[in-house]
Amino acid sequence: MKKFFPLMALVALTTAPMAPVAYAETTAAVATPSRLIPVEGSNNFRDIGGYKTADGREVKWGILYRSAAMNRITPAGFAQLKALGIKTNVDFRATQERASAPAVWPAEMKVAVYSQDYDMDMTPFMAFFQKGNVTAEETRAMMAGFYADAPFKFAGQYKRLMRLILDGETPLVYNCSAGKDRTGVATALILTILGVPRGTVTEDYLLSNRYYTPDMPKAGEKEDPMMAAFRRLPPDVVQALMGVDARYLDAAFDAIEAREGGWERYVREDLGLSAADVAALKTRLLM
C-alpha cells in the first residue's frame, strides 16, 4: 500500500475562497435548497438525502449529515443542530487536528462523539513540496495516491460509522477537517452501498468545490512557517490540494476493485457488513 499523505492538515492554507471549478452537478443537488444547511459557524455542512437509487428509491432526508470541522459552530449554530435532532458525531480528524481545533458540543445536547487517535506524518508531504517546481498535475497524482489508500487507511472508522447507523444512532453528522476527503470517501461508500449510481455519487462529492471555503486565519494570528510556504504555491497547485476532482474519488474505487474480491470483499471484510446488514441499511436510509 502507498505511503499515507496527511493532506487534510492543510485546511488553513489560503485566505481566499477557491475559484469555481466547472464540474457538472446533479439537478437534485443544485435545485434542492436543503442540500447545504447554513448552520452558523459551519463549513460544507450538507444533508446527503434526496438522491435516487438505481431501483427508484430515494435516500431519506434528515438522517445523515456531512461537514467540515465543527470547532467554530456558534451557540446559535448548536441550537440549529439541536433542532435537527443530532444525537451522534463521528469525527474523522487525527489527534493533532482535534487537539488544535477542538469541537465542544454543549453538554445539554448529550451528543455522543466518536473519534480515533492517530498521527499524521507530515515528513513525506513536506519533502514532496520542498523539491521545488511542483505542478498541479503532480499534486493531483499525489492526491489520487492518498485516495487510493483512504478506503483502507480509514476502514476502521468507516466501519464504526456504518455500525452506528445500523444501531439507529441517528440523526448523525460525520466530519473531517474540510469535509471533502475523508468525509467525501465515507459519503461515497454510503451512497454506493445504498445503490445510488456512481455518476450521482461523484457529483455529490464534487459539490465541495462549491460549498467548502478554506478557513480564514484570525487577525493577528502568528502563521506557521509551513503554512506560509504553502501560501506561496501556484494557484493551480493550491486548487489541486484544496479542491476535489473526480479522478481522486475514482482512485479510491479503483483501489477497492483492484484487490481480489473487489467491492463485495471490501463491504464484507473492511466495513464488516453482511448481506443482512446492507439490507438493514437500505431499510433505515431509503424510502
pLDDT tens-place string over residues 244-278: 999 999 999 999 999 999 999 999 999 999 999 99
Contact between residue 240 and residue 143 where contact means Cβ atoms under 8 Å apart: yes
Predicted pLDDT at 23? 33
Contact between residue 10 and residue 242 where contact means Cβ atoms under 8 Å apart: yes
In the predicted model, is pLDDT for residue 229 greater than 90?
no
Q: For residues 218-231, b (16+ Cβ closer than 10 Å) or e, as one string?
A: eeeeeeeeeeeebe
Q: How far is CA 192 from CA 53, 66, 185, 199, 204, in A?
A: 9, 16, 10, 10, 12
Predicted pLDDT at 238? 87
Contact between residue 249 and residue 184 where contact means Cβ atoms under 8 Å apart: yes
* Range with lowest mean pLDDT among 68-82, 92-106, 113-127: 113-127
Predicted pLDDT at 34? 73
pLDDT tens-place string over residues 189-227: 999 999 999 999 999 999 999 999 887 555 566 666 666
The answer to pTM > 0.75 is yes
In the predicted model, is pLDDT for residue 16 greater than 80?
no
Determine which helix (DSSP H) or strand (DSSP E) holds 67, and give its type and residue range.
strand 64-67
